[in-house]
Amino acid sequence: MASVSPASLEKAYQTARRRRQPWEPLWRECFAFASPVRGGGLSPEFGPANRLSDRLFDSTAPDAVEQLAASLLAQLTPPWSRWFELVPGTEIGTDDRAQLAPVLEQATQALRGHFERSNFAVEIHQCYLDLVTIGTATLLFQEAAPGDASAFTFTAIPAAEMLVLADREGRITQQFRTTGMALAGLRGRFPEVKLPPPLVERLKEDPDSRVALVEAVRPEGSHFRYTAFLPKEETRGDEPLLLAEGIFERSPFITFRWLKAAGEIYGRSPVMTALPDIKTANKVVELILKNASIAVTGIWLAEDDGVLNPANIDLTPGSIIPKAVGSAGLTPLQAPGRFDVSELVLGDLRARIRHTLLGDRLGPVQNQRMTATEVLERSAEMARLLGATFGRLQSELLLPLLQRATAILRRRGELPELPMDGRIADIAVRSPIARLQAREDVGNIVSWLETIQKLGPEAAAVVDLPATVRWLAATLGVPAELVRDLPEPLSALAAELVQGDGNAA
């Protein structure tokens, strides 16, 4: 494959920088009011050392953000859980499916083992925090060194380092990561690259001088081209300096969004929707605290009688304050009114913040004695609320994540050489929120079987019991080794079993 053009690479990088700039002020506000300890990096004044939490007086939004991120982790990629599996594709017949299923089950176990032994759960949770706060997150998926416990290693990329471009359909196609690197470290990482004279002079004067290293991933046919380079502003030349190139079967950068408006590249977050209420609640709490300090310390009046010196007054128990004979001395100033209405306003604001961030709908169950109907209704409500978001996360996060994982293990020889194209083999998401629709489908089948049972033996004779059992097992995600093919004579007894005591249902 031909090398990428430095001019087109620089042009795409500068375009990505221009398109991200309008989003940065909004991101700063979201971090400042919803996640202040994680807002560093967008600009120097928003570094962690500047203690952004000192400007925050209400913790409703930060708590709701953490709760929603934890709910996403539990509903999409729960650690040490069977949240995905490899299944036979649509073009595999019944006989071949029975032979292929055990092979794919072993591959699923191997794949799950690598995820569980890696740092995936830690890094994806940080991505969920960014996703909820600013609407866009990026996970770097790299192959670990040979001999490590897991073949995978993950890194949550801060929002300040990522730039993206999308195609006309809104799909992210080009990704750029900008990181600072010392010139000495750059020379050690790319020893074969000849540095331009300006950088050589900087290296001699200050080896710790830092430059902006850009890593770009762009589609090229059916693969992705990786390019590391220094932009023109660093080299002070006419073209960027190419440092390294490579080809990936799948992009190592996985960028996903919470919600996307038409014509936009970056996502929108629930914190952006709740930001007016978050800022108002923060101001109300600040005013309440100021009013409380006035109520505790008070505001005082003093006559200018030539004796009383306000600069020397110390309002402590047992203190003696001198005053002139006949003067009023030091008297308290009565407050014009009370600020009780603030509690009503603050309670309404906090309720709206939790509602927008799904804290009152995806949070822990308050009443532990819930009926089965209440549990189903809660699950249906969760599917309705996260339906659109889950569909986007499945296409932008889960499927690219699993496709890159299978590509790495296939290259290592730990997975069979089967194309995950949906025809021969496919990737099925079995996360808790994905199982909600499966439970509804199973409920419909069970209701259908119960109805057939009431119609009598003639209607029950149409039921194919082995096919029904296999379908229920596949829909509920039952491991393949737990299901065996039923002998043919047993199929003739399907009607008799269904019309009996209803055990088939």
| Euclidean distance between CA atoms 29 and 42, whole angstroms | 11
- Which of 216, 282, 256, 505 has the alpha carbon at shortest distance from 390? 256
| Euclidean distance between CA atoms 333 and 299, whole angstroms | 5
Strands annotated E in 274-404: 299-302, 330-333
Query: What Rg do the C-alpha atoms of the chain give, in angstroms?
Result: 31
pLDDT at 492: 39
- Which of 265, 171, 164, 173 has the alpha carbon at shortest distance from 223? 173
| Euclidean distance between CA atoms 141 and 155, whole angstroms | 7
Measured CA distances, 179 to 100, 114, 168, 205, 237 (Å): 45, 28, 28, 22, 20
pLDDT at 450: 84
pLDDT at 49: 44
pLDDT at 456: 78
- Which of 430, 289, 281, 284 has the alpha carbon at shortest distance from 357? 281
Contact status, residue 125 vs residue 76, Cβ threshold 8 Å? no
pLDDT digit string (tens) for the chain, length 505 residues: 456 788 889 999 999 999 999 999 999 899 989 988 765 555 444 444 455 567 788 989 999 999 999 989 988 899 888 899 888 888 887 777 777 888 888 899 999 999 999 999 999 999 999 999 999 999 999 999 988 999 999 999 999 899 999 988 888 999 999 998 898 888 888 888 888 888 888 888 888 888 999 999 999 888 999 999 999 888 887 788 999 999 998 999 999 999 988 888 999 999 999 999 999 999 988 888 887 777 777 767 676 666 667 777 776 666 666 776 667 766 776 665 555 667 778 889 999 999 899 877 665 555 556 665 666 666 667 667 777 788 889 899 999 999 999 999 999 989 888 878 888 888 888 887 777 777 777 888 888 888 888 887 777 778 888 788 878 887 777 776 677 764 444 333 333 433 444 443 3
- Characterize the bridge pairing of strands 162-166 and 172-182: antiparallel
| Euclidean distance between CA atoms 223 and 245, whole angstroms | 13
Tell me if residue 428 falls in helix, strand or coil: strand
What is the maximum span of the chain, computed from C-alpha positions, in angstroms?
115
pLDDT at 36: 81
Contact status, residue 248 vs residue 217, Cβ threshold 8 Å? yes
pLDDT at 225: 93
Owner of token pair 């300096």: 241
| Euclidean distance between CA atoms 375 and 391, whole angstroms | 23
The structure's pTM equals 0.82
pLDDT at 176: 96
Phi then psi dihedrals of residue 492, to 5 deg: -70, -20
- Which of 235, 275, 37 has the alpha carbon at shortest distance from 135? 275
pLDDT at 46: 45
Instruction: Provide the CA 352 distance to its chain's centre, in angstroms.
Output: 22
Measured CA distances, 224 to 173, 174, 392, 417 (Å): 9, 9, 22, 20
Domain locations in the chain as residue ranges: 6-55+121-267, 434-505
| Euclidean distance between CA atoms 20 and 24, whole angstroms | 7
For CA atoms 48, 51, 57, 63, the dihedral sign is positive
Please work out, in degrees rounded to the nearest 5, the angle formed at the alpha carbon of residue 137 by the alpha carbons of 135 and 139. 165
Owner of token pair 């906090």: 350
| Euclidean distance between CA atoms 417 and 413, whole angstroms | 8
pLDDT at 441: 79
| Euclidean distance between CA atoms 271 and 419, whole angstroms | 40
pLDDT at 501: 42
